[in-house]
Amino acid sequence: MQHKKRILIFSLVYYPNFIGGAEVAIKEITDRLGHAQGTFDTQNSSGQAFEFDMVTLHLDSHLPKVERIGNVTIHRVGWTSDENVSADSLPKSLHLNKYAMLLTAFWEAMRLQHKHKYDIIWSMMATYNSFAALFFKLLNPKVKFLLTLQEGDPIPFIKRRARPLWPLFKMIFTRADTIQAISKYLADFGIEMGAKCPVVVVPNAVDIKHFTQEYSVEEINEIKKKLNKKEGDIFLITTSRLVTKNAVEDIVKAMPLLPENIKLVIAGRGYLEDSIRKLSVMLGVENRIQFLGWLTHTDMPKYLKASDIFIRVPISEGFGNSFVEAMACGLPCVTTPVGGILDFLRDRETGIFAEVRNPESVAKAVTELVRNPELVSRIKRQSFEMVKEKYDWPMIADEMKKVFLNI
């Protein structure tokens, strides 16, 4: 009987309240490494069985301390709140949880290790939860340590934030047995931090089947009606957290430079939402901008297909799931040449670049797409083919299976 690899995941947050690129990646990968069969194990096509547990922050008192989500058994640690808890409404009283996680997650992991005897620990991103994974590794050196780099913040900012614990922060990289980065940009970061282990690039991806599904004309028209999209309107859409790194305000600043029939749909929330709303009023474009809040992955393809151009012009980006999702829906993308975006977007081939922090350049890129249908057609065709060939979750899950087997 083949040994099942038991893997303990360290993640700062997780479903159902926190769903970002890192959380989606964990769920897509673990769900696809076989199918749950009423037990705590999954089995892939090679016959190798995997079992997944996770230690993550509790935060929301309405969630159980232990539950099963997909193919992962979740163990939540730390104190909680009865208030509404999400990525954009975390009460101040809970922020200390992140620092306490160095110990609370470590203690829980040690308790679980006594019971399960893990083969691999898997830390999602080099952040608070990674210190707990490091402490675990130091006490259990025979357990393999996989570090995934999914960071979207600028590298200088990450380094400044880690400065008080710099020697320990570097050890997260130097004590890992394998580092998996979602882009060449982040792989270089791992090497720069002194990694002594293999550093492999396995990107994030898109659920091709979900984002290419066909909708009836009536369904798409219903979304257009909700958005008040009139004949002749051109809708830009961004699915972005409203935070500094995503520079959504630069899109808003570009709006006065574009014709009145060009509208903007913002799907996302964040701490900058109020200031972005005020900016739209100050610039007199509030009637051309709609704030939708968070869209579920279930609804997102319909809103993308009801729009014309995907736009996101960040100052930094680890990879950018939103881009490949938009490409799968057949939208041309306007973005900036930063971070992991350079792995998949070629200017005027699979998208179009604007300059960082330059609203005039953003407006110019949008205008070029509006005026050049041949360019749009080429970008849509080439980006869709690229996503289908390289960025489908089943393929990426298979690459991660190899990482788990070879570590």
Confidence tier at 82 by pLDDT (50, 70, 90): confident
Given a cut of 90, whether residue 81 has pLDDT beyond it is no
Given a cut of 50, whether residue 132 has pLDDT beyond it is yes
| Measured distance CA(35)–CA(31) in Å, rounded | 7
Q: In whole numbers, what is the pLDDT of the chain averaged over residues? A: 93
Q: What percent of the chain has pLDDT over 90?
A: 87
Q: How many CB atoms lie within 10 A of CB 96?
A: 11
- pLDDT attached to residue 36: 41
- pLDDT attached to residue 34: 53
| Measured distance CA(99)–CA(110) in Å, rounded | 18
- pLDDT attached to residue 92: 75
Q: Measuring CA to CA, which residue among 74, 129, 121 is closest to residue 105?
A: 129
- pLDDT attached to residue 84: 72
Task: Compute the average pLDDT of residues 260-269.
Answer: 96
Given a cut of 80, whether residue 83 has pLDDT beyond it is no
Confidence tier at 47 by pLDDT (50, 70, 90): low
- Reported pTM: 0.92
Given a cut of 60, whether residue 39 has pLDDT beyond it is no
Please tell me if the domain spanning 5-205+392-406 has the same topology as the one spanning 208-390. Answer: yes
Confidence tier at 37 by pLDDT (50, 70, 90): very low
Given a cut of 90, whether residue 316 has pLDDT beyond it is yes
Q: CB of 404 within 8 A of CB of 7?
A: yes
Given a cut of 50, whether residue 27 has pLDDT beyond it is yes
Q: Could you state, in order of their start, the residue ranges of all structural domains in the chain?
A: 5-205+392-406, 208-390
- pLDDT attached to residue 96: 87
Task: Compute the average pLDDT of residues 142-152.
Answer: 97
Given a cut of 80, whether residue 196 has pLDDT beyond it is yes
Q: Which fold has domain 208-390?
A: Rossmann fold (3.40.50)
CATH number of the 5-205+392-406 domain: 3.40.50.2000
Instruction: State how far Cα 36 lies from the chain centre.
Output: 24
